[in-house]
Amino acid sequence: MLKTKFENNTLTIFLEGKIDSTSAPALEEEINQVRQNCTAGTIILDCDKLEYTTSAGLRVILRLKQEVDDTRLINVHTEIYDIFDMTGFTEMMTVEKAYRVISVEGCEVIGQGANGKIYRIDRDTIVKVFLNADALEEIHRQRELARTAFVLGVPTAIPFDVVRIESGGLGSVYELLNATSYAKLLIKGEKSLDEVAEMSVKMLKLIHSKEVKPGSMPDMKAVALDWADFLKDYLSEDLYTKLHALIDAIPTDMHMMHGDYHLKNVMLQNGESLLIDMDTLCHGHPIFELASIYNAYEGYSVLNHAIVKDFLGINFETASAFWRKSLELYLETDDETILNDVENKAKIIGYTRIMRRTIRRNGLNTEESRALIDYCRSVLTDLLPKTDTLLF
């Protein structure tokens, strides 16, 4: 007997076994009988227990789709998905693959970004678990961004599988045999601070040397202008006007940026550095990247040094030293005047981002967050009047 469920104007039909020319007519008749008793705006065909279908089964689904436009297939196993894909069903309707379920309980966290955490699940593989429980679109977007970077010559780990996490949510799986994050190399003393900084900046400059096609990645300048506009009601009119004008004056730049570049988002594998966590890829002037890097090592932790310790596993003093050494190597100078000038430019964008982020996360209602918001405002109040350009 056909198993079904009807709720919230949605009829779910659980398909089982094999659908062929013998079984298809009876299946269609059962579906029609069920539909006579409920008018559904959406029909979901759950294929978790579907073993095989011939063209007769496909015709049943096609007729159903023609009668109820919002007809979807879910939990489709790989072999069955290939049939739907080859016959064009994936272009006509939503067809969601079935994902294997894995657990990350007790697994080592080797990376963390704005959108999720990265775990090592065994010797050969890692998985990025997305914070958004319905992250399929994000996962596909990250895969496309990673492919774009890889084709342009940036060494990056490319996700090869999508999994469902036992505790909830979705993840992307990567193969990274014996790979070690830059953070762990530094923490374990396998590389010195100067050595890791040199490796990090070498990779960063490689990323920044690549030009991308318009529309292939987000424009970081547009994003930063949104940050500034958000602060219009939280800064004086003069400060807001100056901030917006400085960001707006940055020319459009089609060079690639990582967008969340720090010690846990680069891995060393067999002597080769590989980028991970690619969903933040974007394009723009490098000042935006330097602002993000400054925030990772100092900005977010300026009033609470424990934050960077929890995030990267290194103390605030080491993080600050790493930031400064990285800036020196990137700019190829040890001139303190130049270094301080570029750092201040990075701070303007960095603290704009932090202030906006903190306010949006209900920060005005906690003492600690209000202190951070006030600190951001004080930095902007100090730096904006004496800054004529964010370029370097």
Query: Is 304 among the domain residues?
Result: yes
Residues 170 and 93 in one domain: no
Residue 319, C-beta contacts closer than 8 angstroms, at least 6 positions apart: 297, 298, 301, 308, 312
By the 8 A CB rule, do 320 and 264 touch? no
Residues 209 and 143 in one domain: no
pTM, 2 dp? 0.77
Query: Is 391 among the domain residues?
Result: no
Which letter does DSSP use for residue 386 in this model? G
Residues 221 and 129 in one domain: no
pLDDT tens, residue by residue, 125-179: 889 898 876 777 888 888 889 889 999 999 998 788 888 898 888 888 988 767 8
| Mean pLDDT (whole number) for 79-87 | 92
Cα distance between residue 341 and residue 23, in whole Å: 75
Residue 121, C-beta contacts closer than 8 angstroms, at least 6 positions apart: 102, 104, 107, 127, 173
- Of 66, 97, 128, the domain-final residue: 97
pLDDT tens, residue by residue, 305-356: 999 999 999 999 999 999 999 999 999 999 999 999 999 999 999 999 999 9
Residues 77 and 106 in one domain: no
Percent of the chain with pLDDT over 70: 99
